[in-house]
Chains A and B, each alone.
Chain A
């Protein structure tokens, strides 16, 4: 079958590889009909995530048709049209049973690697390095799904692929970020990063009662999309973010800050330039300018919510600000399973149309070109949906 494989920094290729097979009685094989490239794929693409190996199959946002199930699978059936969360849940450990599925104890077969990096592993993730499970991803014609009774959600026929696809990651990720920010009526929410996760965070913040959302980016198309989502916008290339936020909030600062940027922040600020040097020299995994700025800019007693991906240790972390302003920091990989049904309901009711974030639809064979476009943000590239089985 065809699959998107990593070939080194800044290089992916569509390879012919073996089709996945049922490995345990609790497995299913899904024929992928739609799969998206995520901003977090770019962290791997560009070589910033450790334990990615040549030949690894990328892809953690995918959906399709179940074509085979193992003998212990009872709910999911061949022929079901399903979406699959990027965080893999065993469904039975203490965390999974409480809906904290991204903290699953049992789904990372390489837990020992992640334990070394993190102290304790998060759940296994599809197509996201060996430390996070080594699972072949879904940017492929077929993918093996572990514990499908817990991890495969049937998509009703009235929803087309592109409406449902982002329930695998970025809609729940933006929503969880807004939810864990603890938004209360009257709150002003600042969102750093207006890519697709930022867009979903803006939409979700309003769903949860935000009075006003202020969105920060520098790419005109992204800022325009944020504006259309109802946010006021700040272009950080043109104005001072901290001053502007202060002015815009009556001198209080935003009540909640959401960092949808993570480890590859772009800025000319001194701390950011130092981060760039350290990351290039492999002294640090992360360029952490946004989290520092968010902590500085947020108002007293505020919450900083971090859906953006950070990989490791950061320095110059402004802990004194956290202490003296009484801040709360919330983060986490997304407990996707907990949000799939309620957010699918919002899509069905027409409260949100996830298709608005899609800028490119391409055959799977065009993946190399798509990654290149996405990483350079050429042609307004914000969100690519790849279609396996569609002629190039």
Chain B
């Protein structure tokens, strides 16, 4: 993948952690009262950038959950992830190719793992503070599963967000994650991802 190189990296980040950013929940509402500060948050409450992307995938939730939960699989889908090392049930270490031969790695922990329904994560320490979740919900009308990813990270410009901003390399994080999820959907539905040999290579 040439065109989406910086993008794909992000998804690595998205998947990166596991575990559970309840942060996401706090952020998803504008209601002041909901602002439950999460003491353990990787990204300070309301200090981060946030994206949310959803795709309907014509496969059972269990299949999708299994694919996501086995993190060592993910670099095969996310071409810019070099490797994911599972440390133990809750922790893993992610290594990603950044743009211009840079690389980055960070440790993440799962903070929620509800089989076939939800995985949430946050980073631990390091200079790539982020958190996120993926949920799997049945789609109506036998259409498969609605897979929803929410991510947050420290904003570009701030000291914590510097590394992240660099990794985006000017790309639109929303488009990056969308592109990766689209590829994931195709992989799950067809076993392959469409390429055209011109602007999208295999």
Binding site for B on A (CB under 8 A): 20-21, 23-26, 72, 88, 90-94, 97, 105-112, 124, 130, 133-136, 144, 146-147
Contact = CB atoms under 8 A, between A and B. Distances in A.
Contacts of A72: 191-192
A309 B151 CA distance: 39
B194 A124 contact: yes
Contact of B199 (A23, A25, A110, A124): A110
A25 B201 contact: no
B179 A93 contact: no
A376 B197 CA distance: 33
Interface residues of B, number: 24
B58 A109 contact: no
B190 A90 contact: yes
B196 A111 contact: no
Contacts of A130: 198-199
Contacts of B202: 23-24
Contacts of A90: 186, 189-190, 194
20 contacts: A20-B197, A23-B202, A24-B193, A90-B190, A90-B194, A92-B189, A93-B189, A94-B56, A97-B58, A105-B189, A106-B186, A106-B189, A106-B190, A106-B193, A109-B194, A109-B196, A109-B199, A130-B199, A134-B196, A147-B190
A92 B190 contact: yes
Contact of B179 (A92, A106, A112): A112
B199 A134 contact: yes
B62 interface: no
B175 interface: yes
A146 B193 CA distance: 10
B143 interface: yes
A130 B178 CA distance: 18
A135 B194 CA distance: 10
Contacts, number: 79
B190 A109 contact: no
B138 interface: no
Interface of B: 56, 58, 143-144, 175, 178-179, 182, 185-186, 189-202
Contacts of B191: 26, 72, 92
A310 to B, nearest CB: 24
A23 B197 contact: yes
B182 A24 contact: no
Given A94-B58, A97-B58, A134 B198 contact: yes
A257 to B, nearest CB: 32
A134 B200 CA distance: 8
B189 A136 contact: no
Contact of B182 (A88, A111, A124, A147): A111
Contacts of B186: 90, 105-106
Contacts of B182: 111-112
Chain B binding surface, main DSSP class: loop
A135 B195 CA distance: 8
Contacts of B189: 90, 92-93, 105-106
Given A23-B201, A23-B202, A90-B186, A110 B196 contact: yes
Residue from the set A109, A111, A136 with the largest chain B CB neighbour count within 10 Å: A109
A124 B190 contact: no
A88 B192 CA distance: 14
Contact of B200 (A20, A25, A110): A110
B196 A136 contact: yes
A135 B199 CA distance: 9
A338 B186 CA distance: 21
Given A111-B182, A112-B175, A112-B178, A135 B196 contact: yes
A141 to B, nearest CB: 16
Given A88-B194, A109-B200, A112-B182, 16 more contacts: A23-B195, A23-B201, A24-B195, A72-B192, A92-B190, A92-B191, A107-B194, A108-B194, A109-B199, A110-B199, A110-B200, A133-B194, A134-B198, A134-B200, A147-B190, A147-B192
B158 to A, nearest CB: 28
Contacts of A26: 190-192
A51 to B, nearest CB: 10
Nearest to B202: A23
Nearest to B3: A110
A21 B198 CA distance: 12
B199 A24 contact: no
B194 A146 contact: yes
Contacts of B198: 130, 134-136
**Among B56, B143, B189, B202, residue most surrounded by chain A Cβ atoms (within 10 Å):** B189
Contact of B185 (A24, A105, A146): A105
A95 to B, nearest CB: 9
Contact of B194 (A21, A106, A136): A106
Contacts of A93: 58, 189-190
A25 B187 CA distance: 13
A144 B197 CA distance: 9
B196 A25 contact: no
Contacts of B179: 112
A105 B191 CA distance: 14
B196 A133 contact: yes
B143, B193, B198: which has the most chain A beta carbons within 10 Å?
B198
Nearest to A108: B194
B190 A91 contact: yes
